[in-house]
Amino acid sequence: MRVLVLNNHWRASGGAETVAMQTRRLLERAGHDVVTFAVGQADDGPRPHPGGTTGARAGGPLKGIWSLDAFRRLLRLLDARPIDVAHAHNVYEGLTLSVLDALERRRVPTVLTVHDYRPVCPNGVLRRPDGERCVRCAAAGPPLWPAVRHRCVRGSVRLSAAAAAEASLNRVRRRYERLAALLAPSRFLRNVLVTAGLPAERITVVPNAVPPAPPAGAPPPAARFVFSGRLTEDKGLDVLLDAAARLRGVARIAVLGTGRREQAVRARVAAERLPVDVLGHVSPARVGHELSRSTAAVLPSLWYENCPLAILEAAARGIPVVASDLGGMRELVEHRRTGLLVAAGDADALAGALLGLADDGAWSRALGARARARVVAQHGEDAYLAAITAAYRQAARA
């Protein structure tokens, strides 16, 4: 089978990118012919990139909403290399949903993995800049003015208006309803999409997968926790630092990753002398190393995460996770069995959970062992490959 995999970028800069790259790797390992399509650099022409990736530049007056360049380049690619099925991941703002129009024009069966809430929420996270979790746009019809009124995209009226215009246009055009299939990484996300009116019969839950990892060795001599992810407002970093202040003399927290909040996090850690080590961007191998020598991972997100790889990667090594009791996180963490769930935004509850694990290493290891058994049983790469190829066959029949 020749499969076209589409994603804005072809590097492990986030969860969607990691899953897209994993999809390609697993398909190739199974003997499928994989072609990839992504946003190119400013000087890229229409030639294939190394590894079979064709570049496209998003630009013009509809930049971020609909890319004529991506549309034309993809049509040329489809004319040159017939495709059996296409699998799109994160194509918003860069390639844009113009690629779905090109695929439809050439009658290519298309599957879209919905990594966040963009089909029903202009900023994709169901959360306003003031911190309130919000489903108004998911329940409303276009135009989606609430997103503009609340400046839901980075606090900017301009960016929020562009995102609201894109979401409204796609609602009016019934862009998602015309796809052969939608894949949701969590039951929670699927329920949100169905409640917003997308066809339930076309949405299949396919959880993210994680490659096998060696179990962690001996527990660290002193309690140590790891946060790994984007340093952005919706990840609950201020809550994490509030909790860290209660860990002085007991445990340290390693913060892995980069993002808009990195400098603010570093400044606060230094000013308050918090027991936190901000390590910045590190390689996947370093992430695994840091997890393997930790008491637990921590994910205090303030938004409805779907199937975060941070939880799966820790569990694959037998490391329990302390996570917010929101969205798909509660589908991955069984409270007091494979990890701990705490109320989102509650620094006292988060600190209490971390102190409890720091105080009882045997309990932490028992939680981690059960977490590893769960992730091996439910999030293996073979199961993921079987699920997406079944979706491809269904899409081709449709």
More confident call, 55 vs 343:
343
Phi (first) and psi of residue 56, to 5 degrees: -140, 145
Contact 90, 99 (CB under 8 A): no
Residue 245 pLDDT greater than 60, yes or no: yes
Dihedral sign of CA atoms 117, 382, 53, 283 in order: positive
Q: Which fold has domain 2-119+176-209+380-397?
A: Rossmann fold (3.40.50)
Phi (first) and psi of residue 303, to 5 degrees: -115, 170
Residue spans of the domains in the chain: they are 2-119+176-209+380-397, 223-378
Residue 178 pLDDT greater than 70, yes or no: yes
Residue 168 pLDDT greater than 60, yes or no: yes
Q: Using CA atoms, how far apart are residues 244 and 274, in angstroms rounded to an integer? A: 6
Share of the chain above pLDDT 70, in %: 94
Dihedral sign of CA atoms 324, 153, 308, 199 in order: positive
Q: Quick one: pLDDT at residue 218? A: 82
Record the tokens describing residue 269, joined without a space.
């850690």
* Model pLDDT for residues 283-306, shown as the tens digit of each residue: 999 999 999 999 999 999 999 999
Mean residue pLDDT across the chain: 92
* Model pLDDT for residues 200-209, shown as the tens digit of each residue: 999 999 999 9
Check: pTM over 0.85? Answer yes or no. Answer: yes
322 to each of 104, 130, 237, 305, 355, how far by Cα in Å? 43, 24, 14, 14, 11
Q: Quick one: pLDDT at residue 217? A: 82
CATH number 3.40.50.2000 given to 223-378: yes
Do the domains 223-378 and 2-119+176-209+380-397 match in fold?
A: yes
For residue 66, which amino acid is it?
W
Q: Quick one: pLDDT at residue 62? A: 57
* Model pLDDT for residues 2-23, shown as the tens digit of each residue: 999 999 998 877 899 999 999 9
Q: Using CA atoms, how far apart are residues 28 and 51, in angstroms rounded to an integer? A: 12
Confidence of residue 243 (pLDDT cuts 50, 70, 90): very high
